[in-house]
Amino acid sequence: MLKGIHVPLVTPFAPTGFAPGVTGEVAADVLGKLARRVLDEGASGLVALGTTGEAAALSPDERAQVVEVCAEVCRERGAPLTVGVTGNDTRSVLGALEALPPDVTAALVTVPYFLRPSERGVIAHFEALADGTPVPLVIYHIPYRTGQAVSAATLRHLGAHPMIAGVKYATGGVDQEALDLLGDRPDGFDVLGGDDAVISPLLAAGASGGILASANLAPRDFADLAAAWDAGDVTRARALGHRLTRLSAALFAEPNPTVIKGVLHARGVIPSAGVRLPLLPASEASVAAAEALLDR
């Protein structure tokens, strides 16, 4: 279910003017076209309501609309749909999981943020969710956003639960804990790279795939990268990896997803580069730099 490249889609907004932070309603038809495009170009699945989709800035009705559009496309294409579920208290997260629509394949759930529980608390949190969730869980391990580091031993312990399918691993690099986890994964537990710029070495070390914002723009190239490492085609994988690392660095030169949306808009894929406050649109220089790398 989790193998390959899964794309956390941006949420396109209708243009309403040029004031920073002013955006229109969700452009649902454009979202559907983008979802079909990335799947048709090699992505293995979609992720709705991730950080890249500005989920925190969407109203409940908008979040439901995004999931509905993505679910329809995934039904058409026979692809898995993972939905981001955030929260830092166990009861509210479990309620959100129980409310997921039936077409959702898995839920991407962050390690509890701000509260910074002990690792025993993290284990208790995810075990309680796993015991009650209607869909498999993917742990979102991103300590530079949550303020909570989780060890390979904790992830390995949680991965033994039948309703915990994997982890999106985004610690900012390929660290010793990542190698420890990849060297001894529980059966059926997938490790997905979540830091676009280092996806190639993580795949080389044995990751199952990735959840990559950059794949909004280059889904075929990232899918080819994953396939090359899976096939043991080291020469091709290295060349692709070096090129895509430079592209990802440019796309993250400003806060995600501002540069990605700027490039998508410049290429006529989405109707506006607008993002919602507190994000601001990317600079013209950052968008131009990313476009130049994409053209190569």
Active site residue 140: yes
Residue found under tokens 């303020």: 147
Q: Which of 3, 168, 169, 261 is catalytic?
A: 168
List the binding residues.
52, 211
Distance CA 152, CA 174 (A): 12
Express each pLDDT in 31-89 by its tens digit: 999 999 999 999 999 999 999 999 999 999 999 999 999 999 999 999 999 999 988 89
Mean pLDDT of the chain: 95
285: Cα within 13 Å, side-chain hemisphere? 2
Q: Which of 3, 113, 140, 144 is catalytic?
A: 140
Distance CA 202, CA 194 (A): 10
- pLDDT > 60? residue 17: no
Q: Name the amino acid, one letter, at 64.
A: A
- pLDDT > 80? residue 18: no
Distance CA 285, CA 269 (A): 19
Counting residues of the chain whose pLDDT is more than 90, the rounded percentage is: 93
List the binding residues for pyruvate.
52, 211
Active site residue 168: yes
- Which pLDDT belongs to residue 16? 75
Q: CB count, 10 Å around CB of 25?
A: 12
- pLDDT > 80? residue 22: no
The crossing angle, in degrees rounded to 10, of helices 176-183 and 152-159 is 30
What's the chain's Rg over C-alpha atoms? 18
